[in-house]
Structures are given as structure tokens and as C-alpha cells.
Amino acid sequence: MAEPNLHSNIIFSQQIVDELRKICSKYPAGKHFLLTEETAGRLCVPEIQPVIDEFSVKMTAIRAGEENKTIRSVEQVWDFLSNNGADRKSLLINIGGGMLTDLGGFAASTFKRGMDFVNIPTTLLAQVDASLGGKTGFNFNGLKNEIGVFMEPSTVIINTNFLKTIDRPNFLSGYAEMLKHGLIKSAAHWKELMDYDMEHVDYTALQEIIAHSVAVKEWHVLNDPTEKHIRKALNFGHTVGHAFESYAMKSGKPILHGYAVVYGMIAELYLSVKKCGFPEDELIQISSWLLGKYGKFEIRESDFEALFQLMTHDKKNEGSRINFTLIPEIGRAEINQDCSKDLIFEALEYYRNL
């Protein structure tokens, strides 16, 4: 059985075939499997075709989209592995965005109580967030990532060439998580993100910035693998953001994860002003910059109660408290912040009126 992994080998490389060949050579013949989703299968899998041919990798694809991050898709992967002779000495290669790496990681972690898996994230969001940190899982009963386990991939291969296949909204969605990393841990990273020319993407320069962002995430994961303490800082923007995301999905007007996080960060920066002394002028400046890039998901005052109820389901809550990460200044986070319902409504009102 694969031992629980708490640390991935993260490789930044443009030579993806060479890196994957080295990994595959460590596993027995006939024990190589690949999971992708339709879009990545069409745009990204051809890049690793030489490895697929050389190691006779067996492939399957699930349907693209967050709405397919379900137990039914997990069962499809389990069936594929079972019907093709996978065992604990096998390798599953997950190539796709965050939905795919989350779901594939969960399927691998639970099949025969655990087999190794490699993540090749193909979106910016997956490269800086979803593909490392050991969180795997799927959505259940209308709640995001409600079922899952902690298990790190054995290796993550990050190649910015794959980002040429994503559209601008998905690029911005991933950039939002990088912005979050700067806000909670590194004023220098925040500054380089603000200075980077997002209109004319330089993929070589971006690889270095992604490495800085991944280092922030990795620091939190290594210091708190199962999210008991400081890793909760990565939740900044997500308590309100996940509520926006779930509410948008239920309303039939889904929004990308990073956009929801941006709107959540605006509300939680307001809470940071009220609870931790974050400078109000910086709140106004950052809110304006974010809305200029990400637009706005419109909400009404009558939506506040439903959004609040969704926040009560957040996995990081303790007892009846809604657990926030807030920031007193750029580059520093304070976890386990308790906010009253009235103050949360005030933050939603601030966002609504922007």
C-alpha cells in the first residue's frame, strides 16, 4: 500500500516527456494508468504521447466541468482501474485542471487503500493551488469538496506551456490564488503580481512567479499537513468565496473558483479592517483593482441569509463558529478569527455596494 504522502516532489520543467519517462520507469510494466478530462485530453495529452506509447499507458477521460466532480465520476475511475488490473504498485497520472487532479487523487488514494499518483496540472489554478497540498475529493449534496482525504501526489510536474491552452477567465481564476498567497504571506510576491503584465503573458517569466506562489503554499502544507493550525491561512477569501461559489452554482449562474475567491477576499478584507486593523485605504485600493480585473457577481440584501448559511458548512469551522482567516497587513495572516453574523452581513453589504 502506498504510504500517506505529506510532501510532493515538485518539478518545474519544460521537458515534460523526459520527466514523466523517469517516473514511469519506476513502475512495473502494464501498471501505468492515465486519467484526464475531455478538454485536457484533446489539448494537453498529445504533449506526452511518446510516454503513453512507450509504457502502454491505459487511458480514460471523465466529462469536463465542476458539475462532474461527483461520486459517479469517481466510480468511473475506480471501474477503469479495476477492469484494467490496477493494484497498489500501479501509477495513476492525472492530467488536467484542479477538478481532475482533486478527483483523480481521491480515486487513487482510495483504490485498494491507496496507489501512487502524479499530477500534471494544466490550468493556472491547478498549478498554484489544487495540484499540491494533498487535498483530494469531490462535491456532494451541493457542497464543494465535501468528501475527501489528505494524500499528496508523489510528484507534481508544472509546465507553463500548458497555460497557452486556457482562456483569459481561467487564467484570471488561477491568478486569484496567487494574489491570495501574496496577501497572506509575502508582500514581495504581492508586489510582483501587481507589477506583472497580465495583458501580455510572458510564460517564461510566469514560471518563476508561479514557483514563488507554490513556495508559499508548500510552506503552509509542510508546516501543517492536515490543516490544524497555520495552513488555515490558505483559507483567506475562501469562507465567503465558497459561499459565493455554491450560491452561484445553485442559482444556475456558476462562477469560476478564482473569481469567487476574489469576491470573498474583498469581503474578508473588510472583516480584516474591522477585526485586525487592516488599513482602510488599502481595502479601498485593492477592492477597486480586483473589481477592475474580475468584474462583480451581483448579490441582493435578500441573498445574505442564504450566503451566511452556506458559510456555516465550511469544513474549517469549529462548533458553531464560522472560522475566518484575516490579515492585519499584506504578508501576514491571523487564523481562527470569529466574526458575528451582523459583521459578516456588514462585509457583504460593503461588497454589494462597490
Q: Is-same-fold flag (9-165; 168-352)?
A: no
**Cell output for 241:** 468565496
Whole-angstrom CA distances from 344 to 39, 224, 240 are 38, 27, 9
Gap between the Cα atoms of 325 and 233, Å rounded? 6
pLDDT for 239 equals 96
Contact present, 313 and 143 (Cβ < 8 Å): yes
The tens digit of pLDDT for each residue in 307-332 reads 999 999 876 777 678 989 999 999 99
pLDDT, position 319: 67
Q: Please, which pLDDT band fits residue 7 given cuts at 50, 70 and 90? A: low
**R_g of the chain, CA atoms, integer Å:** 20
Helix axis angle for 238-250 and 304-311, nearest 10°, is 120
Residue % of the chain over a pLDDT of 90: 86
The pLDDT value given to residue 226: 83
pLDDT of residue 31: 98
Q: For residue 70, give the DSSP letter.
A: S
Task: Convert the pLDDT of each residue in 17-37 to its tens digit.
Answer: 999 999 999 999 999 999 999
pLDDT at 18: 97
Note the pLDDT of residue 2: 41
Least confident of 97-101, 129-133, 263-267, 281-285: 129-133
- Sequence ranges of the domains in the chain: 9-165, 168-352
The whole-number pLDDT of residue 129 equals 86
Query: Rounded to an integer, what distance in angstroms lies between the CA atom of residue 213 and that of residue 130?
Result: 12
Segment 153-163 mean pLDDT: 94
**H or E element in which residue 58 lies:** strand 58-62
| DSSP one-letter string for 133-170 | SSEEEEEETTEEEEEEEE---SEEEE-GGGGGGS-HHH
224: cell is 501543517
Q: Is the pLDDT of residue 44 over 50?
A: yes
Q: Class of the 9-165 domain?
A: alpha beta
Confirm if 151 and 114 have CB atoms less than 8 A apart.
Answer: yes
For residues 349 and 229, give the distance between their C-alpha atoms in angstroms, rounded to a whole number: 30
Q: What pLDDT digit, counting tens, does each position of 229-281 carry?
A: 999 999 999 999 999 999 998 999 999 999 999 999 999 999 999 999 999 99
Q: How confident is the model at residue 72 (pLDDT cuts 50, 70, 90)?
A: very high
H/E element, 337: strand 332-338
Q: Which CATH number fits domain 168-352: 1.10.645.10, 3.90.330.10, 1.10.357.10, 1.20.1090.10?
A: 1.20.1090.10
pLDDT of residue 5: 46
What pTM did the predictor assign?
A: 0.87
Question: pLDDT tens digits for 191-224?
Answer: 999 999 998 999 989 999 999 999 999 999 889 8
- Give me the residue label for grid cell 478584507: 269
For residues 229 and 127, is the Cβ–Cβ distance under 8 A?
no
Closest to 234 in 3D by CA, of 223, 245, 244, 243: 223
Percent of the chain with pLDDT over 70: 97
Residue with cell 475527501: 148
Give me the pLDDT at residue 315, please: 66
d(CA 249, CA 237): 18
Q: How much is the mean pLDDT over the chain?
A: 93
- pLDDT reported for residue 320: 72
Q: Number of C-alpha atoms within 13 angstroms, CB side, residue 305?
A: 1
Mean pLDDT of 114-130: 94
* b/e sequence 336-346, b meaning 16+ C-beta within 10 Å: ebebeeeebbb
Selected residue with higher pLDDT from 130 and 41: 41
pLDDT band of residue 142 (cuts 50, 70, 90) is confident
Q: Which long-range contacts (CB under 8 A, 24 or more apart) does 225-234 make?
A: 225/6, 225/134, 225/150, 226/150, 227/150, 227/316, 229/335, 230/335, 232/316, 232/323, 232/325, 232/335, 232/336, 233/184, 233/185, 233/325, 233/333, 233/335, 234/133, 234/180, 234/184, 234/325
